[in-house]
Structure 1
Amino acid sequence: MKTNAINRQWLLARRPSGMVRETDFQRVDVALPVANLPAGEILVRNVMLGFDPAQRGWMDDAPGYMPPMEIGVPVRGSAAAWVVASENPDYPVGALVRGLFGWQDYAVANRRDDAPPMRVPAGLSPEQALGLFGGASLTAYIGLLEVGRLREGDRVLVSGAAGAVGSMAVQIARLKGAHVIGIAGGPEKCRWLTAEYGADAAIDYKSENVADRLAALCPQGIDLFFDNVGGAILEAGIANLALFGRIVLCGAISGYNDVTPSPGPRNLMNLVRQRAVMRGFILLDHLDQAPAAMAELGQWVGEGRIRHRDDIQVGFENVPQTFLRLFRGENRGKQLLRIDESQ
Structure 2
Amino acid sequence: MLYEDLKEFEFLLPEERIARYPAIHRDESKLMILDANTGKIWNEPSFKNLVSYLKEGDVLIANHTKVSKRRVYLKTLARIHEVMFLEEKELLWRCKIRNSRKLKVGETLSDKKTQTISFTVEKKEGEFVFLKPEHTLQEKDFQQIGEIPIPPYLKREADLQDEIRYQTLFAKTPGSVAAPTAGLHFSESIFETLKEKKIQLCTLELKVGYGTFQPLTRENFQNQKLHREEFFLEESSAEILNLAKQEGRRIFSIGTTTLRALESAYDFATDSFRSGPGATELFIQPEDRLKSCEGLITNFHLPGSSLLLLVSAFAGKESILNAYQKAIAEDFRFYSYGDAMLILGRKE
TM-score normalised by length of structure 2: 0.28
Relative contact order, higher structure (CA 8 A, sep 6+): 2
Structure 1 length normalisation: TM-score?
A: 0.28
